[in-house]
Amino acid sequence: MIKQVLLRTAFLGLSFAAMASAAKGDLFLSIAPAVDPSREPLAVGGDVSLQLGVNDATDFMFEAASLGSFGSGADQDRSDTRLLVGSYYTPYFGDIRPRFGGSVGLDYVSGPRGGDKSAVGVNLAFYLQGLYDVSDRMRLFMEAQPQLNTGTLGGFSTLLKVGLLFRLGK
């Protein structure tokens, strides 16, 4: 338990440390709850990311995410912690903008409490996002994230997210 807390804290710290290296472009902080409906019981959690605008259509992203399944079922007492780097592309601009992207990173999976199963693998994800400007400082988004996790406890899943992007600076 302490190992998981320390690992998640380190992932979040690395994600926030990336903010210090941003010198130009828009910088956004993304906060989103997430669910994985393909797991039994339902996995819930969230993610935090920093997104740096490279140009009008491209953003780089550093993300830390955590999900957990609690209750009875095949994935009971399982938790996933991820640290990802990726990019988003916006093909056109309108009231609601589509964004597509991808990421790669590390995934730490801790299995059921009754066993000693835990593994580190690679996470590959694809992002399908709808983005709406609520104001100059805040954006609302909905996202589907199909992903593949490698390793002994890996597999395919799809995360669903609804969240907010806050402009930190330009």
The 10s digit of each residue's pLDDT in 8-58 is: 544 444 444 333 333 347 899 999 999 988 877 788 999 999 999 888 888
> How many CA atoms does the CB half-sphere of 84 hold within 13 Å?
32
Q: Name all domains of the chain by residue range, CATH numbers in brackets.
A: 2-19+26-169 (2.40.160.20)
pLDDT given at position 92? 82
pLDDT given at position 115? 56
pLDDT given at position 55? 84
77/24 Cα distance (integer angstroms): 42
Tokens, residue 73: 């079922």
Give, in order, the Cα–Cα distances in Å from 134 to each of 91, 108, 141, 167.
20, 34, 10, 11
CB distance 81 to 4 below 8 Å: yes
